[in-house]
Structure 1
Amino acid sequence: MMSGGRGLLLALLFLLLFLLPEAFKILILSFIGGSHYLMMDEISHVLHNRGHEVRMLLQAGVLMIPGFKYERPNTYQITTWSASQDYISDYEKWFADNMEDFLKGREDLSHYLDFMNNLAYQCRVILNESKMLNSLKDEKFDITVIDGFNPCSFLVSEKLGLPFVAVFTGTFANGLRVGIPSPLSYVPVFHSHLTDHMDFWDRVKNCLMSLVSTIVENQVQAIFENVIKDYFPAGSRPVLPELYLKAELWIYNTDFSFEFARPLLPNTVYIGGLLAKPAKPLSQELEDFIAKSGEDGFIIVTFGSMLSSIPLLEVLQEMNTAFAHLPQGVIWRCQHSKWQKELKLASNVKIADWLPQNDLLGHPMARLLVTHGGLNSLMEAIYHGVPVVGIPLFGDQYDNMVRVEARKMGIALRIDQLKADKFTCTMKQVIEDKRYKSAVMFLSTIHHSHPLPPDQRLARWIEHVLQTRGGAHLQPSAFQQPWYQQHSLDVLLFLSGSVLGVTYICVKLIRTAVFRIHSSRKQKQT
């Protein structure tokens, strides 16, 4: 018995020492609300469940998820900071005004740059919190996991003096910026609305869009350069393009069941579908509503975490009328308190302040997702095999819907051309034409058959970087080369010069030889 007990104890020690991951202290930076927060929250849970000590530095007051019941998690620690209440109120009004513009089909560069200016202001607030930052610095974290969309995350990580892993909550939109090979002949630039199959004029457009993208990125850098000058001492001021290349890993919230195939670097990991889970049972109230539609099933309607209701009566009316002409039941995320009182809700529609979207998509009677085209929603639709009708409003949603149509898993509609008849016909087409369902089920098979699920990919790659004391072995030496060396312009200049030099010498030699031969002949003739 004694020897058996010792054997069991040794086996347990072996498991603890060699099979279980080493525990590390990890700091998560989450400064943007909505889907960005939901992604960073899930990452925090995954890493905590792997046995790591996780703390989130969270900007409170700007979660922008109406109806969402935010509860302080008991699995990881949170340190909060916040801008003033006056600023938060102004920010929320600015955001609401922008949403009205988007619902009218008005999205332009000024909205994006205004957003970056707001992030820069918020960055000044957090960098002013020197006491809190010094306290975090004293805790000796091993690494930070940051939101790679927000330039401020890089600056805070640099201020703390910690290595970092950058998480980009969309597709590979910033590939050119972070050194990922992005051949313009088949890798569409962000906001180009192109697929990976481009004709000549598409490639011309893609090249021009890459130039526009560079100009826009320079404008964003200029906004944050002022922040850097104010909060970093001269001589040790970081430069954003260098910080982007400094990440130990770049983690992207996408998947090649959805994204176009393209080259990646060893330090690039994709975890699309991290928020998608096996469906949990629905409430009895929802089940009773679904049962009313029988075999026709039901439709889920949601415009993401940030847009909880449609403030424009004309858009709301067109959508409500379209739903009324469908045999399916419609479960629509729309706040009761903001429903237009003069508009009678269609009899087959149920509205709710918040929806268990993942669980609804996993229900066997789910027939369609009507969405804004957010990546988390689309990955959940792929996970559960539900086709979509997308109405993109801003940001990456337009490019996401280009991929939806290219994969034949749904149809996109423009918000400024949304009419009840067309909307009804489009939804019926996607539900009744089985090719859409077949296409999304095939994508679901691709997604589920990946050798490792997203949470394991995320945790194991971060642990790999921690265990190897950084990701330098995953980065190409090009990151240390000046731009002209990366593109071999010095080599091309040398070879061009050599060819021209050799050509010049050959021409001179030939001319000299011809001249001498000609002179020799003249002398013989005389």
Structure 2
Amino acid sequence: MAADRKHMILLFFMQPFLLPHGAKILTLCFVGGSHYLLMDEMSRLLHDSGHEVRMLLQFGDGMLPGYKMRPSPYQITTWSLDEGYLQEFREVFLQHQKDFFMGRNGLGAYLAFMGQLSHQCNITLHKSDIFNSLRDEKYDIAVIDAFNPCSFLAMEKLGIPFIAFFPGMFANAAQIGIPSPLSYVPVFQSQLTDHMDFWGRVKNTFMYFASHIVERKVQATFEDVIKEHFPVGSRPCLSDLYLKAELWIYNTDFAFDFARPLLPHVQYIGGLLAKPAKPVSQELEDFISQSGEAGFIVVTLGSMIPSLTLIEVLKEMNAGFAKVPQKVIWRYQISQWPRELELAPNVKIMDWLSQNDLLGHPKVRLLVTHGGMNSLMEAIYHGVPVVAIPLFGDQFDNMVRIKAKKMGTFIPPEQLKAEILATTIRKITDDKSYKISAMNLRVIQRSRPFPPGRQFVRWVEHIIQAGGGHHLHPYSLQQPWYQQYLLDVILFLSVCLIVTGYSILKVLRFVVGNLCSSGKQKQN
């Protein structure tokens, strides 16, 4: 009887923290590649926690080349873009890939890509049958991929409260009000560390103002979409939609990133795809066993790059791998390997590989990567040093952090030569300090109070139970910029100081004038 009473008391106090029923949750994925892998993982975590989950997925050929999609335990609503447009988009992407490997990754390519997302968004928002069906479902919350501005427009159209998940570092900090002191917080794409000298701080300041110009250009690419799909008088602004998120979650970790201030409505949950390794296939195990003490290297340039368009780059990489003592397991589309190019004898290519499981293998020595966040989180989780060939987006900034943490280094793509690649690999694998640093970062990441998957689910449930994230949002998000920076106060105090100084000066002049007049009268 006493045990039953204790049980009832425990349930009474736990009731506010328990969801009476599984919530209805919508997840949005409008970009393929690693973005899909993350959204799929989060959808599975929410489903496994007892929630009713549906993913709204823009599906297309080439979304994940070589990847066999796992059976989904949650519901999926998919649609595909027109095949003619998809072929055009693939050709544009391949051209961009060539530019990236030649070191051309400027603003024009980024804005062109955002233009493509805008065009896709226009097609997506015309799917009125899908949007009407989802609106009728009355979802409690949505979790969206915040990389694509179209996700915010879709949420506005559906009228569902949402959590924004950003698949990388704090690249859009300025847009959502995160404090970013320019003296030690590097601006996105500045390629600076938190240890900036004078000229570094000057560069960071200029980059900060330039980032606002770039953001305005990005938002401008979606203006026509907004005009077409929202009536006059209720047309949203992307800047305002970013602030409507109940919570912002970033796919990063301070084992990797530089320490910086955050606000309560911002959480970081990096490493959702990093897990204890499972045994690899017997085919791979047989190949790895031939490596002896040298071990093996994992090579993958991202989920969206299954092969290389520039034969010159491919030849340099293949020749570079031939010069190292390790075996090399390379994710490369077998059908795209040139017949005239002989594969290095120590290299095995595969259409797809289980990167996480290979990085957890005891004989792995190095990851050669493009520097994407998911790959780096998995490398940190397993304590594996890194050599990167960063191509675009956040990859250069990611590798600046990896280099600063002494876990690896990177080679700019335009400098990629066989001898440089081989020398860099030997340097990182022979110098044990890189492995020690990687293992230290592994301890930092793994010793967090809660694993990332559980942390993510609990935050989503907290927002649902609390009826939103309003209690986490500081009032600064509603203030105009001049109030946030106290410019009105500074102006007021400056005017007071000037008026006071002027008054004191006038009084002194009056007193001095009277004294001088009195002195002259006495002399006369």
TM-score category, normalised to shorter length? over 0.9
Q: Superposed, which structure 2 residues align to 1:351-500 within 5 Å?
A: 351-500=349-498
1:62 Cα shift?
5.8
User: Offset at 1:21?
Assistant: 4.1
What is the CA–CA distance in structure 2 between the aligned matches of 1:353 and 1:396, rounded to whole Å? Answer: 25
What letter corresponds to residue 464 of structure 2 in structure 1? L
Among 136, 140, 143, which residue is 1:142 paired with?
Answer: 140
Indicate whether 1:173 and 2:171 are aligned: yes
The TM-score with structure 2 as length reference comes to 0.96
CA contact 1:32–1:59 (8 Å) conserved in 2: yes
SS of aligned partner of 1:247 = coil
Contact 2:94 2:309 in 1 (8 A): no
The separation in 2 between residues aligned to 1:100 and 1:29, in whole angstroms, is: 30
- Do the aligned partners of residues 52 and 12 (structure 1) sit closer, same or farther apart at CA in structure 2, a change above 3 Å counting? farther
TM-score between both structures, scaled by the size of structure 1: 0.96
How far the C-alpha of 1:184 sits from its partner, in A, is 0.4
Partner of residue 155, structure 2: 157
What is the CA distance between 1:87 and its match in structure 2?
A: 1.0
Is 1:310 aligned with 2:308? Answer: yes
Gaps of 5+ in 1: none
Aligned to 1:60: 59
What root-mean-square deviation, in Å, do the aligned CA atoms of Structure 1 and Structure 2 show?
Answer: 2.0
In the alignment, which residue of structure 2 is the partner of 1:213?
A: 211
Task: Go from structure 1 to structure 2 and tell me whether the alpha carbon gap of 1:11 and 1:523 turns closer, same or farther (over 3 Å shift).
Answer: closer
Unaligned runs of 5+ in 2: none
Identity %: 60
Alignment: residue pair count: 523
Distance apart, 1:258 and its partner CA? 0.3
The SS at the match of 1:177 is helix
Q: Is the 8 A contact 1:311 1:338 kept in 2?
A: no
**Partner residue, 1:276:** 274
For 1:249 and 1:295, the matched residues in 2 are separated by 47
The aligned residue for residue 502 of structure 1 is: 500
Distance 1:255 1:20, change over 3 A: same
CA–CA distance in structure 2, aligned partners of residues 16 and 386 of structure 1 = 41
CA–CA distance in 2 between the matches of 1:315 and 1:33? Answer: 25
Whether the 8 Å contact between 1:32 and 1:63 is mirrored in structure 2 is no
> Contact 1:186–1:197 at 8 Å: present in 2 too?
yes
User: Deviations along 1:177-230, whole A, 9 cap, x unmatched?
Assistant: 111000000000011010000000000000011111111001011111222122
Contact 1:21–1:51 (8 Å) recurs in 2: no
Aligned to 1:100: 98
> CA-to-partner distance for each residue in 1:424-455, whole Å, 9 max, x for gaps?
11101111110000000000000000001101
Shift of 1:8: 12
Residues 148 and 154, structure 1, Cα contact 8 Å, conserved in 2: yes
- Preserved CA contact (<8 Å) 2:296 2:363: yes
Aligned twin of 1:47? 46
1:453 alignment partner AA: P
Residue deviations 1:236-272 (CA, integer Å, cap 9, x gap)? 1111111111111110000010000000001111111
1: distance between equivalents of 2:248 and 2:2?
47
In the aligned structure 2, how far is the partner of 1:72 from the partner of 1:237?
A: 39
Aligned-partner Cα distance in 2 for 1:282–1:151: 38
- Partners of 2:4 and 2:509 lie apart in 1 by 94
Q: Classify the secondary structure of the residue corresponding to 1:154.
A: helix
Secondary structure of 2:200's aligned partner: helix
**Displacement after TM superposition at 1:4 (Å):** 12
Residue 522 of structure 1: how far off its partner (Å): 2.7
The 2-side partners of 1:91 and 1:312 are apart by 18
CA, structure 1 residues 259+303, in 2 after alignment: closer, same or farther (shift >3 Å)? Answer: same
2: distance between equivalents of 1:164 and 1:192?
A: 30
Q: CA offset at residue 84 of structure 1? A: 1.4
